[in-house]
Amino acid sequence: MIRVAIVEDDLASIDLLVSFLHRYADENKEQFEITTYRDGIDFISGYTSNSDVIFMDIEMPNLDGMSAARKLRERDESVCLIFVTNMVKYAINGYEVAATDFIAKPLTWGTFSVKLKKILKSSLRRREANILLPTSEGQIAIDCGNILYVESEKHYLYFHTTNGDRRARMTMSEAESLLEGRHFARASASFLVNLAHVSNVRRDTVTVAGESLPLSRTRKQEFMDALTLYVSGGGV
């Protein structure tokens, strides 16, 4: 089941998108769970990383689509976001909010079906690599590939990512379970490292994204074994 959100203030556009989704589902044996919102505020206020694909208009009252998208990315960095708009000159700025694509109005079935097929083939595979972090702001979706390393400090874990840091109240053991099978290895009691971002290993340090992290003697052999297996293509 693919969860789709439509954020659009125009009822005719909502009806057309829903009809296109139903037609696509019938022709391609897909299943969609569709939720509609008439305003950016209504959408973002209750968002909990509960969508796989979002179709969003740019020009809406109260909170425009670009502003809603910026708030969306604070909570979910990898959900598929497609702008549906007649304001093409603004849609090209979608890179600012990591928009997957945009569809110009008036909508046509041919353009919609081709773009949706492309999105479902590529972007949803990345979505499967996500984890949900429990934070003070609620659950936040993070792409595992963007995590550089996890650091334990007092009663919190800090997930250092390519898009900034996220704090979660959980244990390192819980983080290891959450990231099991995703190419992570413990460098020390306080650091869990994404092996894909390791650039150098010295006697007692490992370099990740230009930062030197401690590599403890007790964990060095296990870490090096995991890194060797990863580099050779065997995974973790």
Rounded distance between C-alpha atoms, residue 6 and residue 54, angstroms:
6
> b/e per residue, 110-149, with b = 16+ CB within 10 A?
eebeeebeebbeebeeebeebbebebeeeebbbbbbbbbb
| Same domain? 13 vs 47 | yes
At a CB cut-off of 8 Å and minimum separation 6, what does 234 contact? none
pLDDT digits (tens, 9 = 90+) for 116-156: 998 887 666 655 667 888 887 777 888 888 899 999 998 89
| Same domain? 84 vs 146 | no
Rounded distance between C-alpha atoms, residue 179 and residue 148, angstroms:
12
* 43 within a domain of the structure (yes/no): yes
* 236 within a domain of the structure (yes/no): no
| Same domain? 121 vs 75 | yes
| Same domain? 105 vs 144 | no
pLDDT of 121 reads 78
Q: Are 159 and 150 in contact (CB under 8 A)?
A: yes
Q: Which two tokens stand for residue 164?
A: 């900034």
pLDDT digits (tens, 9 = 90+) for 34-85: 999 999 999 998 887 778 899 999 888 888 888 999 999 888 877 889 999 8
| Same domain? 27 vs 122 | yes
Number of domains in the chain: 2
Q: How far is CA 11 from the centre of its chain?
A: 29
| Same domain? 59 vs 97 | yes
pLDDT at residue 232 above 70?
Answer: yes
Of residues 21 and 3, the one with the higher pLDDT is: 21
| Same domain? 179 vs 221 | yes
Residue 80: which domain range? 2-128
